[in-house]
Amino acid sequence: MKKINIDAVLVVEGKSDVSYLSSFINTYFFITNGYDLSEEKIIFLKEASKVRKLIIFTDNDVAGEQIRNRIKNEINNVFEAKSEKIVRNNYKKSGVAESSKEAVIEALKPFACDYEITRHSYDLVNIISLSEEPCKYKEKLINKYRLISGNIKSLENQLNILNISPGEVEDNIRGN
């Protein structure tokens, strides 16, 4: 099955949502970690909303509702998608990760695009390790782009969400 392309940031609750959805959807993902929607994450999502469409795709439960409401109250021009509680067999939960592919596709169909989503390749492992002070450079990168502290993969995902070019990141390391 060909993946569905969505040129937006899909805001989901957890890693299991990304693991499941990324098997048939090509998009940018942002994980809230359930209720753990810190001010730092809200600030990042505000920055991201200036560059990309934000689609909230959380579970149809109390936690999902609270996350949706908080984001909608703090960030303008966000979109919502909801998957009906069509649960795949052998699952006791009924969240996004447990929804049928058909239900997810139906919920996200209005946001689909007919072109492939591409991501920049940053090679941050080498860029950071080649800097004179790797920890300071990583912190500088996080502060400059208002990224959420995390591992290299997480930082690269955030840079892609913000559409920061690899050249700009490399210029940053040289202090330009």
DSSP string, 97-166: GGB-HHHHHHHHGGGEESS--------HHHHHHHSSSHHHHHHHHHHHHTPPP--HHHHHHHHHHTT--H
SS3 at position 5: strand
Cβ neighbour number for residue 64 with a 10 Å cutoff: 20
Rounded to whole angstroms, the Cα distance separating 83 from 94 reads 10
Domains and CATH numbers, the chain: 4-113 (3.40.1360.10), 124-174 (no CATH)
Q: What is the pLDDT of residue 80?
A: 95
Rounded to whole angstroms, the Cα distance separating 27 from 162 reads 13
Q: What is the pLDDT of residue 35?
A: 80
Q: Which mean pLDDT values do the consecutive 10-residue runs of the chain (176 residues) have?
A: 93 94 96 88 96 94 91 94 65 78 92 93 78 79 91 92 91 68
Q: What is the pLDDT of residue 32?
A: 94
Q: What is the pLDDT of residue 133?
A: 76
Q: What is the pLDDT of residue 87?
A: 57
Q: What is the pLDDT of residue 83?
A: 76
**Contact partners, residue 100, CB within 8 Å, separation at least 6:** 86, 87, 88
Q: Tell me how long the chain is.
A: 176
Q: What are phi and psi of 155, to 5 degrees?
A: -65, -40
